[in-house]
Amino acid sequence: MSAIRIAPSLLAADFSYLAGSVASVAQEADWLHLDIMDGRFVPNITMGPMVVEAVRHKTDLPLDVHMMIVEPERYVEAFRLAGADSLTVHYEACPHLERVVSQIHESGALAGVAINPATPVDMLQDVLEELDLVLVMSVNPGFGGQSFWPRSLEKVRRLKDLRGDRDRPLIQVDGGINQKTAGLMKQAGAEVLVAGTAIFKAEDPGTAIRELRQA
């Protein structure tokens, strides 16, 4: 089994003190996860390329940008220029998914596709070989701090089956990941764990990351 990667989600961090929040996970995290929300694909509105760029100046960690926005193709370049290393778009937001994935690759970023709880993993079967990353949402996207959706475990197992003996796309999970669900997700086959609340609301984010890694 490949080593687990932990990607703290900045959504749960103190935005009045972003540089400090980033520093608090810098030693232990593998990636930094940034949630982009537009008030259309999801009800919430968060950050745009300017904030991603500001974070870019504060860390060398790979920036994993999760685009919960409609028409993500309009912003691929902007987020890449801002410093994103991977760009994940939602299957549900992309009628021409293969085209967007190519666009992301042409920008030089890794390409990911996320699926909402109601979207079967099998919808990605025909593009799977073109993806660097598949993000299985274990909550409905839009907010941090929601409870884990147990059926996502089955989706992770299904994705691992579909991938066969290849090691790409990486299997990432996001939403309600804590000490307990991290262990279950790892057993199911998840390789990248995104966690907001469990890390940034913990007394010591670095310790929380170590605990998730060992869960």
Which residues bind to ligand DX5, rule: CB under 6 A? Answer: 9, 11-12, 33, 35, 66, 139, 141-142, 144-146, 174-177, 194-198
State which H helix or E strand residue 152 sits in.
Answer: helix 152-163
Q: What sign does the CA torsion over 174, 91, 113, 170 have?
A: positive
Applying CB under 5 A, among 28, 35, 64, 191 the residue interacting with Zn ion is 35
Instruction: Please choose, out of 29-37, 55-63, 95-103, 148-156, the segment that lies near Zn ion by the rule CB under 5 A.
Output: 29-37
Instruction: Please choose, out of 33-41, 48-56, 70-78, 88-96, the segment that lies near Zn ion by the rule CB under 5 A.
Output: 33-41
Residue 174 touching Zn ion (CB under 5 A): yes
Closer to Zn ion at the Cβ: 189 or 196? 196
Closer to ligand DX5 at the Cβ: 11 or 93? 11
- Does the annotation count 174 as an active-site position? yes
Instruction: Name the catalytic one among 30, 64, 132, 174.
Output: 174
Instruction: Name the catalytic one among 14, 30, 35, 204.
Output: 35
Closer to Zn ion at the Cβ: 115 or 125? 115
Closer to ligand DX5 at the Cβ: 44 or 59? 44
Residue 5 touching Zn ion (CB under 5 A): no
What is the closest distance, in whole angstroms, from the C-beta atom of residue 62 to ligand DX5 in the complex? 15
Applying CB under 5 A, among 56, 66, 80, 186 the residue interacting with Zn ion is 66
Rounded Cα gap, residues 149 and 129, in angstroms: 27
- Does the annotation count 38 as an active-site position? no
Residues near Zn ion (CB under 5 A): 35, 66, 174
